[in-house]
Amino acid sequence: MQTLSDPLRAARVAVRSGRFRDAAVALAELPPEAREAPEWYLLSAMAAWRLGDFEFSRKLALEARARFRTVGDADGEMRGENVAAAGAFGLGDLAAAEQGFARATELAREIGDDLMVARCSNNLGNISLYLARHDAALGFYRAARAGFERLAFDHGIAETWINTAITARDLGRYADAAAASDRALEAADRAGSNRLLGEALSSRGEAMAALGEAAVGRAQVERGLALAQAEGDKLAEADALRILGNIARGEGRPAEAERLARQGLDVATLLRHPWTVAEIRRDLGELYVALRRPADAAACFRAAEAAFRQLGSTPRADAMRARADEAEATP
């Protein structure tokens, strides 16, 4: 039972322990006067982000930032800025996200919050990855991981290894991706986070399938998918479905590959997450190339191009345009 002096305690504990659905319920059930507190907006924004409602999360976080700023709470303003930037990132507004994370970093350094500095470095690495600036991304992840390790913050360590694995995969370095995923699994296990375990399993499964171990990879991604669904992690669910679709394609099961990819696309579209939409469209395009359906392939590559351009990721968008041109030139 919550005390009158701290009505947000249950929601705060739920957010910190990764129980975002419980947090959202607890926050919604609070009386109107408790919902005027800046922290109510911040906790609600954090829960909404993890549950996949990026637009609502950003709106709540901006309100939290403004309310913290009004009362002169620099720590609260910093946290609001960080979550608002995360919302912008989820929506594909990379310019706003980069600006927000940079501002949150400044505030964190001013008040000596080393944990937030590390978190922002990790987030800036994600932006660099989206923009295909791989060396910069890996540098940000190394810096973030060093900060997390100094603080013995296993959640953050796991996230940086997952992101490092994704970057290695993007470069075609699948052995490195598998190794980074192993480190992520170790850190996620220490952190006791099923959400991170699910993401790390999907990442490792993708790498193993690319290295020729399709059965092992599929089993790991299926476990990752089950954990994502149990945790309500819609973004991880969409990505796991994408990976399973690619594994099915590699195993010569095109109908299943298309079905899984379409399921993932439905989830990503509902989330309005342009990066995942673009990746799934790209992979569907490659499936249709293999099936000798050039018109369908071109349409998917054009859609992927549009999503990457929405993100401001010009190199990736240009690559998709080239693939679409090639498909359209196919007799």
Weakly modelled stretches of the chain, pLDDT under 70: 1-4
- Residue 271 has a pLDDT of 87
Interior CA angle at 225 toward 169 and 237, to 5°? 80
Question: Where does residue 263 rank: exposed (0-12), middle (13-18), buried (19+ CB within 10 A)?
Answer: middle
CA–CA distance from 89 to each of 144, 165, 234, 306 (Å)? 18, 20, 16, 17
pLDDT in tens, 225-261: 999 999 989 999 999 999 999 999 999 999 999 999 9
CA-based radius of gyration for the chain: 20
Running DSSP on this structure, what letter comes out for residue 34?
Answer: G
Q: Domain 8-112 class?
A: mainly alpha
The tokens for 7 are 């009505």
- Residue 4 has a pLDDT of 52
CB 162 within 8 A of CB 199: yes
- Residue 147 has a pLDDT of 98
Which residue is listed with tokens 């299943």?
256
Stated length of the chain: 331
- The residue ranges of every structural domain in the chain are 8-112, 244-331
- Residue 3 has a pLDDT of 46
Dihedrals φ, ψ of 326, to 5°? -65, -45
Nearest to 243 by CA among 273, 199, 292, 274: 199
Which amino acid would we find at residue 300?
C
